[in-house]
Amino acid sequence: MRCSIRYALARDVIKGLRLAIKKAKMKNQVLEINEPEFEAQVLRSTQPVLVGFLTGWSKPCQLIEPVLDEVAGACNGNAKFFKVNVDDNPDLGTIYAVQSVPTLIYFFNGAVRVKIVGMASPKAILAKLQSLTPGNPPANEPGRPQ
């Protein structure tokens, strides 16, 4: 009886460690950047870039972070993902007219292409990113549904 309990306990510990490692790897897919790095990482990127303008105290921001991690994992490196803390970088919030958090801004070739204010599903975020891939017209182009 004792052996089966020890075996079950060891199995659960190993399972928990694997899950923790997987979550830690996913968290590294959305990097936090500051104002000095913004131009090089976002505006000069040749890939589509999604920047989440977030705060640490906002519950919606805390809820959207795992969604961004999930979307970043699904993109397999075809887009870059960053987050900016608007409390620590108020000038970036002002430049991009962030009036509410979370705000997701999609950049392509250094230009703002799409802005989403508030929560968004992983499916909606992926759809917007796919519209920014090379060869696709911008999502806000006249005559194209948003």
**Tokens 């970043």 — which residue?**
72
Average pLDDT, the chain: 83
Question: What is the full DSSP assignment across 89-145?
Answer: -HHHHHHTT--SSSEEEEEETTEEEEEEES---HHHHHHHHHHTSTTSPPTTSTTS-
Per-domain residue ranges of the chain: 30-131
For 67-86, what is each residue's pLDDT tens digit?
999 999 888 888 999 999 99
Superfamily of 30-131 according to CATH: Glutaredoxin (3.40.30.10)
For 24-69, what is each residue's pLDDT tens digit?
555 558 999 999 999 999 999 998 999 999 999 999 999 999 999 9
The whole-number average pLDDT for the span 109-117 is 93
